[in-house]
Each structure stands twice: as C-alpha cells, then as structure tokens.
Structure 1
Amino acid sequence: MGKSELTTGTQAIDRATALLSDVLQSQTPPLLGSLARAHDIPKSTTSRILGALERAGLVQRDRNGAFLAGQVLTSFAREQNQDSVLVTRMRAVLESLSEQTGETANLAVPGNGFINLLDQVDGQYLLGATNWIGKQVPYHASALGKVLLAYSAVTISAGRLERLTDKTITSRTRLLEELEEVRRRGFAIISDELEVGLVAVAAPIREQDGRVVGAISVSGPSTRLNNKELIRIGDLIVSEIDAVQARSKKKPQMPNQKIGKVGAA
C-alpha cells in the first residue's frame, strides 16, 4: 500500500469519526447538509461516509432524514446501564455469600464469546484468591457459564470446546446432559474443569418475566470445598438471590395506600 493510499484511508477514518462524534453530541439530530458544511466535506462524500456508518448500525435516520445514534450504539448503552443496575442490586448478595462462606463471590452476565464478569467480593483466604474481573472465562468450563447456557441466556458456540484441564467437558452431548442437570438442580457445579484445584457453584439471576440475565457464583479450592459443601452453598446462593428478588418486587407503601400484588419473578 502506497503512502497516498494510507493518507486517504486515514483521512476517511478521521472524517467518519468526526461525523459520528457530531451526530452523537448534537442536541438535535443533524441533517446531511449541515454536517457537510460543519466539517467542510463535499456533500456526496459526507453521504457516502454516513451511509457506511448507517450500514454498520452506528447511525440511523429519523423520519426527517436527520442522523442519530444507531442501534449498535443504543443497544450497547442500554446493556451497560442494565449491567450497572444489576451490579448495584446484587452487591449485597455477593457480600453476604462471601461472609457466610469465606470464599470469593462473583457476578457475571453473557459476554461476546466469554462470560462477562461484572463484580467480585473476595473471600477471607489467601489460597484461591483470584481476581476474575476481565479474565476470559469460557462458558462450558465455568459454573457461571453453565448457568447461562442452561437457561438459554447464551447458546453453545459452534466451534470446538477448548480443553483447559483433563476434567473439562469437551463433548457437546455430555455438555447438554450437564446443562439438563443444572436445570433440574437449580445451580451448576464445576470441579477442576476451569483450573486444577478450583471448584465453584453458581445459580441464575432472573428478571420478573423469568428470563435469566446473569449468574452468581462462589468459588474456592477443592481442599476446602467438597461436593457436599458445594451443594449446600448452591442452595444458599439460590436463597440469597430469591430474597433480593422478592424484596425488589414489593412496591413501597404510600400514605393511605395498600400494597398491591405484582407478578412473580
């Protein structure tokens, strides 16, 4: 690629980012002509750039032909807001679980290819203390991921299931059987599947319409947590989440008003 081509490509990117920033920051959706004049770009060139941004879902046009944020950006903003609300709502659950078990508690939601770990409360022990926030944790090898798969918050990836340890489930048939067991039991358990010596148990978080939107886990070393203890903690996670969900359903009582019933979570 020649120097002139690189310059042209850089200029196109600069123009596209400038136009996109203008659209996002404008108080009212700008029209094509005003954008072209504001950035001193030929109208035909402005139209081509905005067309490319529109095809990518970064901008869209309203009924007057003015430009505003596209579906990709609005969906991202909405998801980020939902995540922050979920973190706030479930923080007390993580703290309670960590205090009661002494182990690390995590909150996760579906991510792109890997689970998206949003929050963590560390346990009281040094052994097994790992900061999982930002780590690429696959669905099929984690308790959090199995919960999200079991309740169709995500689907099993089309590619090969990576083997991380000798205990990692890499057979799709076996994984589907495992997910059925998760639904029957109400929580997922892993042992040495993500890391040798690491065990974890996770349960789902549901919205009021029943959809599973996230999961909470407790994890630690197998030297401290045997299968019987994991089952006990699994029931505890379900109970803690249910308690928060029940409280969130209750409408605050107003003066001279009775509290009405709301739908089940």
Structure 2
Amino acid sequence: MSDTATAAAPGTRAVDRAADLVSTVVRADAPMTFADLQEASGLAKSTTSRMLTALERSGLLERDGAGSYVAGSLFWLYAARHDPWEELVRLARPTMKAIGEDTHETVHLSVARGDRAVQVAQVDSTYLLGTRDWTEVDVPAHCSALGKVFLAWGAIDVPVGPLPAQTPATLTNPERLRRDGDQTRRRGWAITVDELEVGLTGVAVPIHGPRGDVVAALGISGPTSRLEGRLEELGRRLLERSAELSMLLRGRTPKEGVA
C-alpha cells in the first residue's frame, strides 16, 4: 500500500462512520436519540458526539424539539427543489398548526403553477362556521389572498384582459389588480374581502425560498364578520410565521438571523 493510501485510510474511515450515522437516521422510522445512534454505530460516546456535531453543522442532520436526530436541512432543501409540494408541506405543517391554534381559523398553503394558485395543504378551523376543504377547489388567483400574493410578487403574471367576477367585490380590471399588488408589497400581506365568496375574507403572505424568490403563500380565511377589524393583526402574525419558515427554507434558524 502506498504512503498516500495509508495516510488517507483514517480519513476514509471517518467519512464511512459519518455516512453510517446519516444513513441510520434517514432510514429510521422515528427520530433517533444520541443513545440509539451510539449503540447502533458501536462508536465511543466521544466519537459519536463529535461526528454528530459536525453533521449538524453541515446540515446533514438536525435535532427535533425533543433533542432526537432527524434528517437535516440539506435533505429537505434538495427534495424541495425536485418535489416541492411534499417537502414544503412537511416543513410547513408545524407552522400551519401553530397558526391554527393561535387564530382558530382555517390555514392554507399554496404554490403557483402556471397561472393558477394551487393549494397543497390546509389546517381546518376550530369553528364550525368557516370550515371547508379548499384543496380540491380551483380558485382563480385574482380573487384569493393566496393568489394575490403570487400576483403581487410576480410569481404569476397579471392578465392583460378583463377578469371574471366571482362577486361584485372581485377586482376584474388588471390595472386595479396591479395597484392592489403594489399595496400588498408595501404592506407585506394580501387581503380579499368578499371577493371570492360574499362573506369570506382571506389574508396571505409570501414564503421566500433559498434564492429569495416567492415559492409559496401562507394564509388564513374565515367569515368576514369574524375577521373584519383583525386584518392588520392577522397579517402581522402571518408575516412573523412566514419569516421563520422562509429562514428554514434558506437553511438557517431564526437565532442565526437572515443572510
């Protein structure tokens, strides 16, 4: 064996051990504790600790709220670029549940596909009034808060011709829709009041991906009578939650700040 191969062997063994730790976590049916991984790998505690710290630092592994190890941000970031709906929903689900618990209203997650805003996940309202499954409903972008997010930030182009009216309040003139988009960007959130259905109000905010572009919209909806007077409060709450989610998509945590 050459001197070069001999010198490389310890480094190769370290890579193999680290790869085994990552593989064990990724293949596991549930998050794994430090003790689980140390036992499965057969490594000394100090070696296991050192490798897990390095794998966390690189984004290959991360710890959940209970301190157990799960696949890291690099895995879902890669998957998000190739299968964005499934991974985006997985990542956004805890945030959506938190918003639902906080507001008690229906929470929506949507992505842009062509000229449509496609809802990919929903957390139902705790109220009987306002609970409806929108994931199978084809909603025109210009009369939903989620769709208005994509129009305002350029993820969907504003149509050049007149738009169909769902209600008397629907914005059907493209120029008015552009002005509404300008206001949405300045404010930070989109609003619809009685524009899709009379008596229905929505508020939505953008979610920014690793490149800073808008990759999804996060919003809530409910009866106009219940949401009127709360739109600014709800918009600010959604902005806080979407900022956390956007930072996760960039592979950072809120404590690390924005790049």
TM-score by length of 2: 0.64
Q: Deviations over 1:166-202 (max 9, x none)?
A: 0000011111100000000010011000000000100
Query: How far does the alpha carbon of each residue in 1:210-242 deviate from its partner, in whole angstroms, 9 at most, with x for none?
Result: 10011011100011111x311111110110121
Deviation digits for residues 121-157 of structure 1 (CA, Å, limit 9, x no counterpart): 0010111111100211111101000000111111123
Q: Secondary structure at the match of 1:129?
A: coil
Bigger radius of gyration among the two? 1
Asked if residue 177 in structure 1 is aligned to residue 184 in structure 2, the reply is: no
Q: 1:163 to 1:79 in 2, by over 3 A?
A: farther
Q: Equivalent residue for 2:234?
A: 233
> Alpha-carbon deviation of 1:251?
6.2
Match of 1:242 in 2: 243
Q: Does 1:160 align with 2:162?
A: yes
- Number of the residue aligned with 2:149: 147
Q: Which runs of 5+ in 2 are unaligned?
A: 1-78
| CA deviation after TM superposition for structure 1 residue 159, in Å | 4.5
In structure 1, distance between residues paired with 2:114 and 2:252: 35
1:78 Cα deviation from its structure 2 partner: 8.0
TM-aligned CA deviation for residue 207 of structure 1: 0.7
Aligned residues of 1:249 and 1:262 also touching (Cα < 8 A): no
Unaligned runs of 5+ in 1: 1-76, 253-258
Task: For residue 219 of structure 1, give the secondary structure of its aligned residue in structure 2.
Answer: strand
Spell out the pairing of 1:75-114 with structure 2 (5 A cutoff). Answer: 81-114=83-116
Structure 1 residues 93-132: Cα deviation after superposition (integer angstroms, max 9, x where no partner): 1111111001000000012442110000001011111110
Quote the Cα distance in structure 2 between the aligned partners of 1:251 and 1:225: 33
Cα deviation, residue 79, structure 1: 6.7
Q: Deviations over 1:24-68 (max 9, x none)?
A: xxxxxxxxxxxxxxxxxxxxxxxxxxxxxxxxxxxxxxxxxxxxx
The aligned amino acid for 2:158 is I
Cα distance in 1 for partners of 2:97, 2:239 equals: 15
Q: Distance in 2 between matches of 1:240 and 1:263?
A: 14
1:124-135 equivalent positions in 2, closer than 5 A:
124-135=126-137
Residues 223 and 208 (structure 1), Cα distance of their counterparts in 2 relative to 1, 3 Å cut: same
Aligned to 2:200: 198
Contact 1:208–1:263 (Cα < 8 Å) also in 2:
no
State, as a whole percentage, how many aligned pairs show the same letter.
37
How far 1:249 moved relative to its partner?
A: 4.6
CA separation in 1, counterparts of 2:207 and 2:227? Answer: 23
Q: How many residues align?
A: 180
Aligned to 2:19: none
CA distance in 1, matches of 2:124, 2:163: 29
Alpha-carbon RMSD:
2.3
Inter-partner Cα distance in structure 1 for 2:203 and 2:156: 18
Tell me, in whole angstroms, the C-alpha distance in 2 between the residues paired with 1:189 and 1:124: 21
When residues 263 and 222 of structure 1 are mapped into structure 2, their CA distance, relative to the original with a 3 A threshold, is closer
Q: Describe the SS at the equivalent of 1:124.
A: coil
